[in-house]
């Protein structure tokens, strides 16, 4: 802990300044879902503060009983493991904290300390092993990835009559697309991936997927280890250099966009080998919306007329990144894109969207069946908000731009009577509305 306090000045500040005002107490989706008082952000932080006081404050060293200080024993570590893995690092509580304390940073530090003594979560570490050995979280090897891309090509040809390419490892392509590996086969992720390819086809640019770096997600953030996060991100830069691309466009993944937007420059930058006239990386939503604004896509919004759509802001995008050139662009870019594709759009309750959006309940490395009970309880606030607009405004589709949100929602929303088909990729809507051959070459 002493090493981290020296490395992260914010951590010491966050541990010192809490006044127990209670503003964060009822803002965590896991507390609202489980009712466990240790899931109040202030209580979760207190688990680390007790150890901090014992070793790093005069009062804690001299009067541990009076200052509620304690050693990091095996029992305390067991509590850390339990409750710091019931935080999805979504940062909603920090929005309501008058001092700006970021519980996500405290959770990440706790996980980093546990990681340093070999106490890690099986789910995250198995995934990181697959990334390092194969190139993606799901262990899809090059041959299987090639077969998947061929399948998507054949499906688009069959449904539209148009030859749209989904290339793999093509040197000299203009764009390297980095997508979460769930986009290659999961539902509704793959419909979004199909949409990416249609957008590039209409833009008239060459693009490629890399078999070496076929994963946008970065679980290094979830185990709190910046060295691992850097190693995972490095594969993407190496692939871009090897393929000789001019720009990097990334797919729909919430925490991965946070890593790319907020950390890539310091982790693996600079990107001076890419074309400086483009923002690198570019989110696929930024790319598609820019193309629409320049008249580069022909759209038929009526293709989505059977849908009444709402949008779930993914927590890492909402509170850990930005899109476009204006404050709040991470809220407006995906909404503008959806509204360009659909005639029927409805917002959920304003207390549940944009910067105060709720986590899906599966983020932060918690998307494992071992934590299914917690995941079901953690989705409660979002399920309630969605259920309200389904009942009162006819919503039948909730679009999102996060691979984890899509996987979590399709699995747990049925527990609340909401069909899994309600969940959609934003670029699934793009794929439905785009008219192939309409504006090629712009």
Give the distance between the most distant pair of CA atoms in the chain.
Answer: 77
pLDDT attached to residue 280: 86
pLDDT attached to residue 441: 55
**Residue with the two structure tokens 């909603």:** 92
Is this prediction's pTM over 0.75? yes
Give the helix ranges, DSSP H, for 328-397: 329-341, 372-378, 380-393
Beta bridge partners of 311: 399
d(CA 169, CA 102): 40
d(CA 302, CA 322): 30
Q: Give 414's DSSP letter.
A: G
What is the three-class DSSP state of 310? Answer: strand
Question: Using CB atoms within 10 A of its CB, is residue 340 exposed (0-12), middle (13-18) or buried (19+)?
Answer: middle
Cα–Cα distances in Å, from 422 out to 44, 305, 394? 33, 15, 12
pLDDT attached to residue 33: 96
Contact partners, residue 115, CB within 8 Å, separation at least 6:
223, 224, 225
pLDDT attached to residue 121: 87
Q: Give 65's DSSP letter.
A: T
Under a CB-based contact definition with an 8 Å cutoff, are residues 250 and 259 in contact?
A: no
pLDDT tens string, the chain, 442 residues long: the values are 999 999 889 999 999 999 999 999 999 999 999 999 999 999 999 999 999 999 999 999 999 999 899 999 999 999 999 999 999 999 999 999 999 999 999 999 999 999 889 998 899 999 999 999 999 999 999 999 999 999 999 999 999 999 999 999 999 999 999 999 999 989 999 999 999 999 999 999 999 999 999 999 999 999 888 899 999 999 999 999 999 999 999 999 999 999 999 999 999 999 999 999 998 899 999 999 999 999 999 999 999 999 999 999 999 999 999 999 899 999 999 999 999 999 999 999 999 999 999 999 999 999 999 999 999 999 999 999 999 999 999 999 999 999 999 999 999 999 999 999 999 999 999 999 999 986 655 5
């Amino acid at each position: 802990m002493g090493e981290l306090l020296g490395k992260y000045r914010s951590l010491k500040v966050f541990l010192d300044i809490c006044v127990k005002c209670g503003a964060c107490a009822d803002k965590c989706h896991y507390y609202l879902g489980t009712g466990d008082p240790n899931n109040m952000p202030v209580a979760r932080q207190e688990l680390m503060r007790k150890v901090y006081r014992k070793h790093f404050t005069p009062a804690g060293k001299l009067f541990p009983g009076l200052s509620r200080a304690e050693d990091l024993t095996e029992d305390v570590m067991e509590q850390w493991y339990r409750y710091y893995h019931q935080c999805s690092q979504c940062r909603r509580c920090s929005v309501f904290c008058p001092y700006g304390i970021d519980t996500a940073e405290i959770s990440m530090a706790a996980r980093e300390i546990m990681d340093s003594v070999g106490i890690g979560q099986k789910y995250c570490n198995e995934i990181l092993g697959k990334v390092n050995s194969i190139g993606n979280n799901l262990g899809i090897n090059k041959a299987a990835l090639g077969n998947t891309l061929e399948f998507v090509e054949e499906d688009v040809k069959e449904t539209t009559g148009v030859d749209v390419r989904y290339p793999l490892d093509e040197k000299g392509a203009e764009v390297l697309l980095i997508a979460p590996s769930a986009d290659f086969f999961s539902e509704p992720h793959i419909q979004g991936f199909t949409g990416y390819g249609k957008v590039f086809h209409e833009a008239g640019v060459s693009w490629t997927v890399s078999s070496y770096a076929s994963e946008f997600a970065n679980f290094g953030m979830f185990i709190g280890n910046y060295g691992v996060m850097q190693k995972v991100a490095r594969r993407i830069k190496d692939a871009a250099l090897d393929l000789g691309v001019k720009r990097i466009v990334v797919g729909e993944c919430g925490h991965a966009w946070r890593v790319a937007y907020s950390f890539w420059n310091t982790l693996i930058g600079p990107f001076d080998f890419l074309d400086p006239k483009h923002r690198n990386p570019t989110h696929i939503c930024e790319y598609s919306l820019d193309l629409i604004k320049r008249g580069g896509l022909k759209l038929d919004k009526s293709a989505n007329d059977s849908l009444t759509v709402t949008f779930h802001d993914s927590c890492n995008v909402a509170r850990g990144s930005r899109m476009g050139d204006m404050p709040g662009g991470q809220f407006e870019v995906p909404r503008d894109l959806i509204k360009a594709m659909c005639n029927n759009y409805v917002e959920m309750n304003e207390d549940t969207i944009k910067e105060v959006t709720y986590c899906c309940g599966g983020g932060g490395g918690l998307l494992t069946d071992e934590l299914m009970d917690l995941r079901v309880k953690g989705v409660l606030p979002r399920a309630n908000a969605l259920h309200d607009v389904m009942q009162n405004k006819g919503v039948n589709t909730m679009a999102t731009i996060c691979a984890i949100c899509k996987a979590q929602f399709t699995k747990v929303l049925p527990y609340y009577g909401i069909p899994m088909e309600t969940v959609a990729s934003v670029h699934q809507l793009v794929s439905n509305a785009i008219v192939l051959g309409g504006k090629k070459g712009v």
